[in-house]
Amino acid sequence: MPLDARIYVAGHRGLVGSAIVRALKHRGYRNILTRTRQELDLTDRRAVDAFFAAQRPEYIYVAAARVGGIWANNTYPVDFLQTNLEIELNVIRAAHDHQVKKLLFLGSSCIYPRVAPQPIKEEYLLTGLLEPTNQPYAIAKIAGIELVNAYRRQYGDRFISAMPTNLYGPGDNFDLETSHVLAALLRKTHEAKVSGSPAVEVWGTGEPRREFLHVDDLAEACLFLMDRYDDAIPINVGVGEDVSIRELAELIGRVVGYQGDLAFDATKPDGMPRKLLDVSRIHRLGWRARIPLEEGIRHTYQWFLANATARPGPSA
């Protein structure tokens, strides 16, 4: 992408979109197009089309999505399916109609079958049943990938998809009802430390294993793929290593400086038993994640302390 290219980052206030904007600015790109949800409702087809007609973006990162953890997915399945479908349909269709040079659509590792061989290769998509706790979101993301490939196949559009693993970092959502596991545990552990609570509640058994990628690493991968990748196969983006939820909770406790115990609530769902991505394809292209998990969690905790308002504990 030339440095004066018109680049639209959809979802620039979210965890991923804000990291992409930081990476673009760091590289010297000076014509970055952004709109808040109040300025542009991506579920409104006419509004999206008017924006594309007026601004004529040349490159697009589709990072806008309705996202959340197990509780949010179970509670608002219509929102996760319908909103994400509307965003994808409107933005990808407008990109074609207005002859965008290249588009990168961001999916999610939850699109893969619940029980898949590990590590998960890109070709395992649509080979088995999905994890029920996030099925509506996963189906919406799969539809986005299929739409990207349909435009490639029917019209020759240079649209690509990337599948990031579990993400975390500055700008994450720390709301306990809608956050993902790392952010939720970080906040719970901080509040337990502040309040002097003897234990931190952890959903599930602690046995499932997850891979965690710092969002700034993902942003670098997105810029890399926009320049270096042009294939119909969705490409995995991850670190190639995972930890159990128990190990994650223990690591967060060390970072926060919490001395209490972990209380696992086995009545709560575990989600997928394991979700480790095969990242050999992106490694062969020349990209690798650089931020170690503990360093990334420390960075995220510093951001949380500086920016997030944690609810006081019961004895605070």
Give the active site residues.
Answer: 137
Q: 16: buried, middle or exposed (CB in 10 Å: 19+, 13-18, 0-12)?
A: buried
The phi and psi torsions of 115 (rounded to 5 degrees) equal -115, 95
H or E element at residue 77 = helix 77-78
Q: Which residues pair with 274 in a beta bridge?
A: 209
Taking 3-state DSSP, the helix, strand and coil percentages for the chain, each rounded to the nearest 5, stand at: 45, 15, 40
Q: Establish whether 260 is an annotated binding residue.
A: no
Q: At what angle do helices 181-195 and 293-307 cross, to 10 degrees?
A: 60
Q: Establish whether 169 is an annotated binding residue.
A: no
Q: Establish whether 180 is an annotated binding residue.
A: yes
Using DSSP's 3-state secondary structure scheme, residue 246 falls into: helix
Q: Establish whether 144 is an annotated binding residue.
A: no
Q: Establish whether 16 is an annotated binding residue.
A: yes
Q: Establish whether 12 is an annotated binding residue.
A: yes
Q: At what angle do helices 84-97 and 135-155 cross, to 10 degrees?
A: 10
Q: Establish whether 203 is an annotated binding residue.
A: yes
Q: Establish whether 18 is an annotated binding residue.
A: no
Q: Note the residue count of the chain.
A: 316
H or E element at residue 8 = strand 7-10
Q: Establish whether 141 is an annotated binding residue.
A: yes
Q: Establish whether 26 is an annotated binding residue.
A: no
Q: Looking at this protein, which amino acid is placed at residue 237?
A: V
Give the Cα separation of 84 and 140 in Å (integer).
6
Q: Establish whether 14 is an annotated binding residue.
A: yes
Q: Establish whether 107 is an annotated binding residue.
A: yes
**Which residues are annotated as part of the binding site for substrate?**
188, 203, 210, 270
**Which residues are annotated as part of the binding site?**
11-17, 106-109, 141, 164-167, 180, 188, 203, 210, 270
**Which residues are annotated as part of the binding site for NADP(+)?**
11-17, 106-109, 141, 164-167, 180
